[in-house]
């Protein structure tokens, strides 16, 4: 799991090793940007939506229909598919600028997915609803507009450049309605609309990034790198007669449920013609899967551990009738995954509803956009499971996404229930599962083998979690996270440790383990998570508002996976806010200014407005406002030495 990222061709675009993050900057011309006080996240989203609706015309841009292909595969045929003459478009924009009217670009983005058809035993490509996105851009002075359009236009001849010669560009939330046209005119393609994230060729990004930064529209820019790799030790013996892990995790005496909560593997794709998947019901491919020989080897193996069916051949997965979804994020030989592909896979799963996402991938580079995608998935009710990594014999470097908070991280054990030597150790490991000599399906030769790696421990947990969630639908993702790790069997040194976390996966215990209280407003680990247009903003609503001045919330804190909780609360004009906290251990309360950057500040003269009267299991904080009404931030932070807590917070 330790692939080095290739360097960008053009060193002038962005720094190779650092991500540029830009906050609000002075504008070169006035833009109507409502302040945080008067325009909340929902209001801003509604305003953006109304603006889009006003631009929508009555004629569709594309009409999908199915056409017969000799090999039995159905493809969507596009209509009215014209190449955009950027030179003509620039002239039209300039004429529009002279008229002083708004400029709109209509861009059609079809989403085509593939689903294995158990009747035809072939891959059917479905044409999904065609989404037409309208983007508007405030008019620039004519000279500036001509300069930008001329500099940012990308020829079709250059469009075939590798996506690794590209930059990921994210717009701030207020700019997603106003400046998206500027990005698409630069040849940018949408990666994740909810993140305002685009993929832009480096030569265009060299001009685009400074322009967006000058407008105060840039959220971040970062190279599109190889952000993860798929690794396992060399295949050894043919498929063993039994799957030894079944009795270890306790499923050998259980009857798994029928289809329920889905498991999405973001991996190298599945070979749907393999005997384990040929004719298997509830198998969905969310994008085109690379064929065997190019990709699909790692994804086929991971998918078989999750959901190989009881079909009289090969092996049986941990949850045989699971709804199994696959996003192919790999390129080339199927072992390297680019940042934007991983982001799209995570969000494709999250946007389809609550479920489990399996990430048997990793790298040592922390990627902000992948982290943002994971936080958005968590916010939407997704359980994200990741392999801890296979570098336990190489110094245990922190791997990502395994070391991101709110990710259920899985280490590997052997047949003696000891942690495998190759399994990464870190404080982020939550539990362990078998990962040595695991029988898997292989796309090479469409057979079966055994393999080692945390890549196969993670899908055991993912499949088991989907099983438990199907059997216990009243749980939410935050509760399921705790149930899966806290029901584990302690192994090794007593208590939670860096090698196995809480212990070894135990499915029978997870099916009956008492559910903890829900943690409803995650992720809210710091101000940037809950601030409007914050760097990790996932539209967490404010705890109190001008219309709702009092409320009560119950929640949890974990020093590693959920280190603190921050809430946005309304401070009324010439009024008072009171927060009363009761917990099962010592916690601290603090109230922070609207301009604060983080609640982790420990210096005198910081942005903290007030703190609890005294530390302890009960705290009271009161602050009187002598100015205008505004939002401020209320933080619940564990006291020194506290690893976890459950609390009740009343704000009035």
Catalytic residues: 267, 298, 455
Euclidean distance between CA atoms 267 and 376, whole angstroms: 19
3-state secondary structure of 371: helix
- Distances 329 to 59, 341, 643 between C-alpha atoms, Å: 34, 5, 36
3-state secondary structure 209-277: HHHHHHHCCEEEEEECCEEEECCCCCCCCECCCCCCHHHHHCCCCCCCCCCCCCEEEEECCCCCCCCCC
Euclidean distance between CA atoms 66 and 74, whole angstroms: 6
Residue 478, judged by CB atoms within 10 A of its CB (0-12, 13-18, 19+), counts as buried
Tell me which residue of 577, 319, 563, 272 sits closest to 465, measured CA to CA.
Answer: 319
How is 301-367 classified by DSSP, letter by letter?
HHHHHHH---SSSS---SSTT--EEEEE-EETTTTEEEHHHHHHHHHHHHTT-S-EEEE--BBSS--
Euclidean distance between CA atoms 652 and 151, whole angstroms: 54
Euclidean distance between CA atoms 430 and 387, whole angstroms: 10
Tokens 């990710």 belong to 407
In this structure, how many other beta carbons lie within 10 angstroms of the beta carbon of residue 569?
19
- Report the alpha-carbon angle 306-363-446, nearest 5: 35
479 φ/ψ angles, rounded to the nearest 5 degrees: -75, -40
* Cβ contact 427:221 at 8 Å: no
Angular region, 417: left φ>0, alpha ψ -120 to 50, beta rest? left
Cα Rg of the chain (Å, integer):
26
């Amino acid at each position: 799991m330790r692939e080095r990222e290739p360097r960008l061709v053009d060193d002038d675009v962005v720094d190779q090793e650092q991500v540029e993050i830009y906050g609000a900057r002075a504008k070169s011309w006035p833009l109507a940007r409502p302040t945080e006080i008067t325009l909340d996240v929902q209001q801003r989203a509604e305003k953006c939506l109304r603006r889009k609706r006003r631009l929508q015309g009555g004629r569709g841009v594309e009409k999908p229909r199915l056409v017969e292909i000799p090999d039995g595969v159905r493809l969507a045929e596009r209509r009215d598919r014209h190449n955009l003459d950027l030179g003509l478009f620039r002239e039209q924009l300039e004429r529009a600028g002279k008229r002083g009217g708004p400029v709109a670009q209509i861009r059609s983005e079809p989403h085509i997915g593939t689903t294995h058809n158990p009747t035809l035993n072939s891959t059917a490509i479905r044409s999904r609803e065609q989404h037409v996105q309208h983007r508007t851009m405030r008019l620039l002075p004519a000279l500036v507009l001509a300069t930008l359009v001329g500099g940012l236009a990308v020829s079709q001849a250059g469009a075939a450049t590798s996506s690794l010669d590209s930059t990921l560009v994210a717009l701030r939330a207020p700019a997603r309605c106003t400046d998206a046209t500027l990005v698409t005119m630069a040849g940018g393609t949408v990666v994740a609309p909810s993140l305002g994230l685009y993929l832009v060729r480096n030569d265009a990004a060299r001009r685009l990034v400074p322009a967006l930064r000058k407008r105060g529209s840039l959220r971040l820019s970062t190279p599109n790198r190889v952000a993860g790799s798929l690794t396992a030790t060399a295949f050894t013996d043919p498929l063993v007669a039994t799957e030894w892990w079944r009795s270890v995790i306790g499923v050998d005496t259980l009857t798994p449920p029928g289809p329920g909560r889905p498991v999405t593997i973001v991996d190298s794709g599945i070979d749907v013609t393999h005997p384990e998947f040929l004719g298997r019901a509830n198998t969905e491919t969310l994008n085109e899967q690379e064929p065997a020989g190019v990709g699909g080897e790692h994804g086929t193996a991971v998918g078989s551990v999750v959901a190989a069916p009881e079909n009289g051949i090969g092996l049986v997965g941990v949850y045989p009738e699971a709804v199994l979804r696959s996003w192919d994020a790999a390129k080339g030989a199927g072992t390297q995954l680019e940042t934007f592909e991983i982001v799209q896979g995570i969000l494709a799963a999250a946007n389809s509803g609550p479920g489990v996402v399996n990430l048997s991938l990793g790298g040592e580079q922390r990627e902000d956009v992948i982290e943002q995608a994971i936080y958005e998935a968590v916010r939407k009710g997704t359980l994200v499971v990741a392999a801890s990594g296979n570098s336990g014999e190489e110094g245990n470097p922190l791997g990502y996404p395994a070391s991101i908070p709110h990710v259920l991280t899985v280490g590997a054990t052997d047949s003696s229930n000891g942690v495998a030597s190759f399994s990464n150790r870190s404080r982020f490991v939550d539990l362990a599962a078998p990962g040595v000599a695991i029988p898997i399906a292989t796309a090479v030769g469409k057979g079966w083998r055994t393999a080692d790696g945390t890549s196969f421990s993670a899908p055991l947990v993912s499949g088991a979690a989907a099983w438990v969630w199907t059997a216990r639908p009243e749980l939410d993702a935050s509760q399921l996270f705790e149930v899966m790790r806290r029901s584990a069997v302690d192994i090794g040194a007593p208590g939670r440790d860096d090698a196995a976390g809480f212990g070894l996966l135990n499915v029978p215990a997870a099916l009956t383990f008492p559910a903890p209280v829900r943690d409803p407003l995650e992720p809210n680990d710091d101000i940037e998570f809950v601030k409007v247009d914050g760097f990790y903003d996932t539209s967490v609503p404010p705890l109190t508002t001008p219309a709702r001045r009092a409320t009560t919330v119950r929640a949890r804190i974990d020093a590693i996976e959920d280190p603190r909780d921050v809430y946005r609360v309304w401070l009324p004009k010439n009024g008072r806010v009171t927060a009363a906290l009761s917990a099962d251990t010592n916690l601290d309360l603090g109230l922070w200014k609207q301009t604060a950057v983080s609640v982790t500040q420990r210096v005198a003269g910081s942005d903290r407005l007030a703190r609890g009267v005294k530390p302890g299991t009960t705290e009271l904080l009161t602050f009187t406002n002598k100015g205008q009404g505004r939002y401020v931030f209320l933080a619940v932070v564990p006291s020194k030495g506290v690893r976890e807590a459950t609390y009740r917070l009343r704000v009035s």
